[in-house]
Every structure is written in structure tokens, then in C-alpha cells.
Amino acid sequence: PFEVVLAKSGLTLQVPVGVSCLKVLRDAGTAVDWSCSEGVCGTCETEVLEGEPDHRDAVLTPSERASNETMMPCVSRARSARIVLNL
């Protein structure tokens, strides 16, 4: 599990094991565009302000992954206990 903080709204959400970050965001009423929900289309790409994503998508290049500037919340998670998204 990890905590996701939404920088614009100030909301803090818990992402349980087995539930996607995208689902938690959507259930909280956050507007995130998405399409495939499988980490292949790139539609849900979201800017990361703090924390280290655990990238599980097939979209980002190795250097984009290493930069930790964006993530695909439909499949990717967090290595850090807390991640801050520009949402």
C-alpha cells in the first residue's frame, strides 16, 4: 500500500494492495483521462512531483522512467510510501 497526495486539491488517498492507483483516483472523483487501463496507451500519464514511482507500464522509455517525472497510474505504483501527483 502507499499514499497518493493530490497537489492541486490537497487530497490524500490510500492505495491498497491489489487496487490500481487510477481506480483510487477515479473513485475519489479526480478527473484523469484513461483508455486502456493496461499501461500501453499512455493516456493516463500523470506528472509526479514527489516520490518514486514503481513503473509497470510499457509506454515510458528507460530514461523517462529514471527521471520519475511522470507515471501511468493505471498500472504503476509507488516505491516510496508517499507519492505526490500534479492533480
Binding region for ligand FES (CB under 6 A): 34-37, 39-44, 57, 59, 72, 74
What cell numbers appear for 8 in the block? 492541486
Nearer to ligand FES, 24 or 36 (CB): 36
Nearer to ligand FES, 72 or 87 (CB): 72
Amino acid in position 46: T
- Are 34 and 46 in contact by the 8 Å Cβ rule? The answer is no
What cell numbers appear for 83 in the block? 507519492
The least CB distance from residue 60 to ligand FES, in Å, is: 10
The least CB distance from residue 42 to ligand FES, in Å, is: 5
Nearer to ligand FES, 10 or 48 (CB): 48
The least CB distance from residue 40 to ligand FES, in Å, is: 6
- Are 75 and 39 in contact by the 8 Å Cβ rule? The answer is yes
